[in-house]
Amino acid sequence: MKASTFVYPWDVTGDPGAPARIAALGVEQVTLAAAYHSTRALTPRHPRHRVVTAEHAAVLYPADPAGDRWKGRALRPYAAGDWAPGDAYGEAAEALAAAGLGVHSWVVLAHNSRLGAEHPDTSVVNAYGDRYPWAPCIAQPATRAYLVDLAAEAAVRPGAAGTELESLGWYGFQHLHAHDKTGGVGLGDAGQYLMALCFCPTCRVGYDGQGLDADELAAAVRAALEPLWRGAPDGGGGWTEIEKLLGQETAAATRAWRDDRARTLQETAVRAVRAAAPDGFQVLLHADPVTYHVGANPGVDPEHVLSVADGVVVPCAGGPALLAPFAARRREGTVVAANLGIVSGMGGSPDTLAADLGRARDLGATELRLYHAGLASDGDLSAVRAALAGR
């Protein structure tokens, strides 16, 4: 079972020992960030720094905003600052390859706070009229075109044998913003869905096409959320609870619009990456098998997404159960990668990695993804080495 670990370019550039240290974990590959959102990250072993602050979403290779791909377009990728100068991705990829590691590009798409700040009309708008600047609305034509072209450009970097596309779908309310203060009310599965419904002009027209009046829908969403704001417990039940709150027909109509916009974006982005890539280039999507879920691992229909992409990277922080729906629909050569946390300080479980690996394999995982070698402590990495040695 091939294993890959997520890495940032700044974990490698300027640290000559990093590639060999990563290879010594027992992984065969790295998933290296090529386009990433804003973050503040530890670098526990780097000889020159301990904290890297990426101030905004950026591409981590030389941006060419005046090039043919982006010429005359308002939406275009942002260059990184001093946290990833020059061709940080390319330098890191070359050093990792020299240590015998394969490289996949890691591309974060519909998650970009700077885009929402500078182009507020691109953002998801909830039923209260609040904008989510971190969440581009994937229904808007200009935003879709930007995301597709960014996917093609950032994925197919020199030396990459494949790509892993994160956030290629709807984003919602859940987002760890600077000094986040949003945990006071437990929204649950249904509340998160309702807070993720977008009411930008494009989505309002989309709801109309599904037979819904957008103003009436927004009022229904606000009414359904009101008990939660007053402290009522989440009713549970997933989609059944959403149908109870909105009515079956209304809930189905919202999902029909959103599912169509997500699926067609995924199809178009994967086609664009393949058109730009050499033969044999692997395209994987970060994905959740619950289609109405939103976020970094957007909900997908397993059968559909595996007919589009070469495989999926599946979040397993809560256990490996989400693997099974994908494994049941995989074909020969399809990748079903279990994404396991190895940073104990961020909720990962490196000490149980061997057992988690076995459970993931039993549920159909074909590969592993380990989050994240650059953030983990020395103790965490020691546990990873021991677990992978026993594969």
Q: What pLDDT shows up at residue 65?
A: 58
Question: Following DSSP, what letter does each residue of 67-132 receive, concatenated?
Answer: STTTTT-S--PPBP-TTS-SSHHHHHHHHHHHTT-EEEEEEE-S--HHHHHH-GGGEEE-TTS-EE
Structure token pair of residue 166: 């994160």
Q: Which residue, among 294, 290, 55, has the nearest Cα to 174 in the 3D structure?
A: 294
Structure token pair of residue 158: 């020199």
Residues 6+ apart with CB under 8 A from 256: 210
Determine whether 67 is exposed, middle or buried from the number of CB atoms within 10 Å of its CB (0-12, 13-18, 19+).
exposed
The answer, yes or no, to whether residue 235 has pLDDT greater than 80, is no
Please, which residues bridge with residue 42 across strands? 51
pLDDT over 70, % of the chain: 97
The answer, yes or no, to whether residue 228 has pLDDT greater than 90, is no
pLDDT tens sequence across 46-71: 999 999 999 999 999 998 756 788 98
Phi, psi for residue 273 in degrees, rounded to 5: -65, -45
- Give mean pLDDT, residues 355-376: 97
Predicted confidence band of residue 389 (pLDDT cuts 50, 70, 90): very high
- Give mean pLDDT, residues 130-135: 96
| CB-based contact 169:289 (threshold 8 Å) | no
| CB-based contact 322:315 (threshold 8 Å) | yes
Distance, in Å, from the CA atom of 322 to the CA atom of 332, rounded to the nearest integer, reads 20
Architecture of domain 2-182+262-389: Alpha-Beta Barrel (3.20)
Outline where DSSP puts E strands in the chain: 2-7, 29-36, 39-42, 51-54, 58-59, 102-108, 123-125, 131-136, 162-166, 282-286, 311-315, 335-341, 367-371
Q: What pLDDT shows up at residue 175?
A: 73
The answer, yes or no, to whether residue 188 has pLDDT greater than 90, is no
pLDDT tens sequence across 68-119: 889 889 999 999 999 999 999 999 999 999 999 999 999 999 999 999 999 9
Q: Which residue, among 313, 314, 287, 315, has the nearest Cα to 301 in the 3D structure?
A: 287
Predicted confidence band of residue 247 (pLDDT cuts 50, 70, 90): very high
Q: pTM higher than 0.75, yes or no?
A: yes
Distance, in Å, from the CA atom of 8 to the CA atom of 262, rounded to the nearest integer, reads 27
Q: What pLDDT shows up at residue 391?
A: 82
Q: What pLDDT shows up at residue 192?
A: 92
| CA-based max dimension of the chain | 60
Q: At what angle do helices 239-246 and 214-229 cross, to 10 degrees?
A: 110
Residues 6+ apart with CB under 8 A from 352: none
The answer, yes or no, to whether residue 253 has pLDDT greater than 90, is yes
- Give mean pLDDT, residues 110-134: 97
Q: What pLDDT shows up at residue 72?
A: 87
What per-residue string of b and e applies to 15-27 under the rule 16 or more CB within 10 Å gives b? beebbebbbebbb
The answer, yes or no, to whether residue 169 has pLDDT greater than 90, is yes
The answer, yes or no, to whether residue 177 has pLDDT greater than 70, is no
- Give mean pLDDT, residues 207-225: 97
* C-alpha 382 chain-centroid distance: 27
